[in-house]
Amino acid sequence: MKVQRVKSNISMGALYFPNKPQLGADFSSEIKRAIENNPYVKSLSKTEDVFARFVPKGQNGMMQHLLILDIIDFSKLQTKKSLWFSSRLFGGVKDISAVDFLNKIEQPRTNKTTKSFWKKLLTSHKNPNQTKYYNYQEVIANTDNDVLLKNGLNTENDALKEAENRRVQLNADIMKEFH
């Protein structure tokens, strides 16, 4: 695991670039610098421990850039919340470069949001956390996806919950290495 900065205690606010999962483990120093220098990410990592993962458009079949910021708690070995930013598939700036996308990330709005991450990702006008550059959603493990359930896609809903639970468990495994 690569660490941007660590104070005297491991859980006093730092930005981490975990090498697991392999998604985003090989991003360039330019991408890493853009994440480190983003004002929102920088302010977040001063008060919280943050795992930052980035998957560029085109890698692993991704149709958009994806930045995942996991707020973690080393003392409890758990993920407190996961913030997902995905570049716009449609809209004003759909072909944004990875660095430009990362430079546009800002603190999410406090508007009331719907529960469905995928609905926010794919719809254009009902997402209060959507800008012309990205969509944002807080993703919670073990939470039902309303859109999938309304369409009778229970298997897909369960698969998404299971995938998020595995990612949260992976975060816990990484934290154990430093506990």
Higher pLDDT, 28 or 7: 28
Residue pLDDT, tens place only, 47-73: 899 999 898 888 777 788 999 999 998
- The answer to whether the predicted template modeling score (pTM) of the entire model surpasses 0.85 is no
Q: Encode pLDDT of 131-162 as tens digits.
A: 888 888 888 877 777 777 888 888 887 888 88
pLDDT computed for residue 6 by the predictor = 44
3-state secondary structure the chain: CEECCCCCCCCCCEEEECCCCCCCCCCCHHHHHHHHHCHHHHHHHHHCEEEEEEECCCHHHCCCCEEEEEEEECCCCEEEEEEEEEECCCCCCCCCCHHHHHHHCCCCCCCCCCCCHHHHHHCCCCCCCCCCCEEEEEECCCCCCHHHHHCCCHHHHHHHHHHHHHHHHHHHHHHHCCC
